[in-house]
């Protein structure tokens, strides 16, 4: 049976929540409200994050382009996605929201530009 | 060249100020020293911007893009690569000598001036670390600029002094790019940044956070070879028995931000020693008639949403000032018990006021009370309040006879 400790980030109270058990049999302690349980359950079962990083471009005045996943992706796939991104070079000028890669690393999320390469 | 409102700085505060001034009928000129508008948001590629204004978690460049698009749609002129060489008061406003590669040096006369010049990072020279001065010491923001705008990795094995938000965000960024972050060292007993960043930047990537610990010495002659770290006592002085050597090739500093207002020196506005910015009233007007301040130049904000909010207020006020020419309010707002600072520090009567404040320490179950001449004006309870998290309240218009307002934070009664 696993025991994990995590810090809830739903409000400034920052409860330290202890999660005991495996699979569907999870018990929570330390949380001061229901939101804490939901946060902790998600963090144990399938933690997800929005990945923000940069990709190389072919333009010397804009050598790297800020990008993000459109939506959250499983945290466990972050480094796999980083490796895919490292192989990419942007050959056209893009604007925020333009898609660079679809369904990255088998997730439903696309990789999109977040900066405007036309400006300046 | 002549204009009604000149805005210096096209970061989030300046963009908002320019938009608001134009919306309220003023002729506006927006100048920025960099080649693209957006200010520091350009390099803040992480998300979390705009949660209040848009109820979305945007990245920095996306947040800036929305304002830049609005500036374009309004047909406003933005002068990039433009520096202020000289600034003085004139008969009906201000006279500035500006310079850029297209126009050369040129003079602009303006009726109102909005200083949206942001803040700067505290440097290694301001935190007294011993040792040599090898390559490999960067402020967290410099490292962020190198990685996110230029694609250069500043080091492979990195120690970070200070647990400010930029430092923690860079710890994650460096980890993603394949560098090893050996530790974040914080002299205080709690992190100085937001809890969300401690969890999602440090804990996610198993980066150790050493509280009550500081960097005492930098080693290396040409390049950093390591740092000495030591625990500190209650007086924040290093306990040299605990000192140990940590090998690394890079030291990042995330040790605080200071409002940047050097440009205003010739105008000599009144400053607040607590915020490091000019004293303003709720219209963001300083002690100099026609000079407005907003964003991180007034005080260091925790969220960009508030930076924009103050920019909108400053821009709208500047446009109104051009027509009416009123003076700064003189009702003094004093930070009472447990408050680090309050912005605005002055109020004008008859007008609602957005007030920002920070507590001096982490406190649980406290009440904020605002009062004038013993009469309570406002009261709000907080479950927990932490200095890194700025707070905002809205105070109703004050009657004209008000002399001063005291705001304090105390135990729930």
- Closest CB to B384: pick one of A6, A13, A50: A13
Cβ distance of B195 and A9 shorter than 8 Å: yes
Chain A contact probe: residue of B30, B67, B102, B151 with most A CBs at under 10 A: B151
Is the pLDDT score of B413 beyond 80? no
CA-nearest of B87, B79, B100, B74 to B16 is B74
CB A85 within 8 A of CB A55: yes
Residue B388 has which token pair? 């890194």
Is the pLDDT score of A120 beyond 60? no
Query: CA of B36: how far to CAs of B65, B72, B78, B131, in Å?
Result: 11, 13, 9, 38
pTM score of the predicted model: 0.94
Mean pLDDT of chain B: 94
For chain B, say whether A49 makes contact (Cβ under 8 Å).
Answer: yes
Mean pLDDT of the A73-90 span: 96
Mean pLDDT of the B52-77 span: 95
Q: For residue B374, what pLDDT is reported?
A: 87
- As a whole-number percent, the residues of chain B with pLDDT over 90 amount to 88
Distance CA B68, CA B58 (A): 15
Interface confidence: ipTM more than 0.95: no
Chain B nearest CA to A24, separation (Å): 23
Is the pLDDT score of B411 beyond 70? yes
> How does residue A4 score in pLDDT terms, banded at 50, 70 and 90?
confident
Please give, one letter per residue, the 3-state secondary structure of B225-267. CEEEEEEECCCCCECHHHCEEEECCEEEECCCEEECCHHHHHH
Is the pLDDT score of B412 beyond 70? no
Distance CA B306, CA B293 (A): 13
Distance CA B162, CA B184 (A): 7
């Amino acid at each position: 049976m696993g025991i994990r400790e995590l810090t809830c980030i739903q409000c400034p109270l920052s409860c330290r929540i202890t999660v005991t058990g495996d699979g569907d049999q999870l018990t929570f302690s330390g949380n001061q409200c229901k939101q804490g349980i939901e946060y902790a359950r998600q963090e144990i079962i399938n933690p997800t994050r929005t990945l923000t990083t940069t990709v190389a471009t072919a333009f010397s005045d804009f050598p790297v382009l800020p990008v993000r996943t459109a939506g959250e992706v499983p945290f466990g796939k972050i480094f796999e996605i980083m490796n895919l991104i490292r192989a990419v070079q942007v050959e056209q000028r893009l604007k925020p929201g333009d898609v660079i890669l679809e369904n990255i690393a088998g997730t439903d999320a696309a990789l999109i530009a977040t900066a405007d390469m036309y400006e300046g | 060249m002549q204009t009604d409102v000149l805005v210096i700085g096209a970061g989030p505060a300046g963009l908002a100020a320019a938009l608001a001034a134009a919306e309220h009928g003023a002729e506006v000129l927006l100048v920025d020293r960099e080649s693209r508008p957006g200010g520091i948001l350009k390099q803040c590629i992480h998300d979390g911007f705009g949660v209040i204004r848009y109820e979305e978690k945007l990245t920095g460049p996306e947040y800036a893009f929305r304002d830049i698009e609005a500036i374009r749609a309004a047909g406003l002129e933005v002068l990039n690569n433009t520096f202020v060489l000289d600034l003085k008061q004139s008969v009906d406003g201000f006279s500035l000598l500006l310079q850029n590669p297209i126009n050369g040096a040129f003079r602009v006369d303006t009726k109102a001036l909005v200083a949206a010049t942001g803040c700067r990072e505290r440097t290694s020279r301001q935190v007294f670390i011993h040792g040599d001065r090898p390559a490999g010491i960067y402020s967290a923001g410099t490292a962020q600029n190198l990685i996110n705008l230029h694609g250069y990795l500043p080091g492979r094995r990195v120690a970070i002094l200070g647990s400010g938000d930029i430092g923690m965000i860079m710890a994650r960024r460096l980890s993603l790019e394949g560098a090893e972050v050996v530790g974040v060292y914080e002299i205080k007993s709690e992190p100085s940044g937001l809890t969300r960043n401690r969890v999602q930047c440090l804990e996610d990537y198993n980066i150790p956070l050493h509280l009550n610990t500081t960097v005492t010495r930098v080693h290396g002659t040409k390049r950093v070879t390591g740092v000495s770290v030591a625990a500190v006592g209650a007086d924040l002085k290093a306990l040299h028995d605990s000192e140990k050597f940590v090998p690394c090739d890079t030291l990042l500093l995330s040790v605080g931000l200071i409002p940047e207002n050097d440009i205003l020196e010739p105008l000599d506005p009144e400053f607040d020693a607590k915020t490091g910015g000019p004293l303003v009233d709720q219209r963001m007007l300083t002690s100099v008639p026609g000079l407005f301040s907003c964003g991180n130049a007034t005080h260091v904000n925790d969220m960009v949403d508030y930076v924009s909010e103050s920019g909108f207020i400053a821009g709208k006020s500047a446009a109104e000032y051009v027509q009416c020419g009123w003076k700064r309010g003189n009702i003094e707002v004093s930070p009472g018990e447990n408050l680090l600072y309050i912005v605005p520090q002055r109020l004008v009567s008859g007008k609602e006021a957005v007030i920002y404040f920070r507590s001096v320490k982490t406190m649980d179950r406290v009440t904020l009370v605002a009062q004038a001449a013993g009469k309570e004006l406002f009261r709000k309870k907080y479950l927990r309040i932490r200095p890194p998290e700025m707070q905002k309240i809205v105070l109703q218009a004050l009657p004209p006879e008000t002399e001063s307002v005291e705001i304090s934070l105390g135990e729930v009664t």
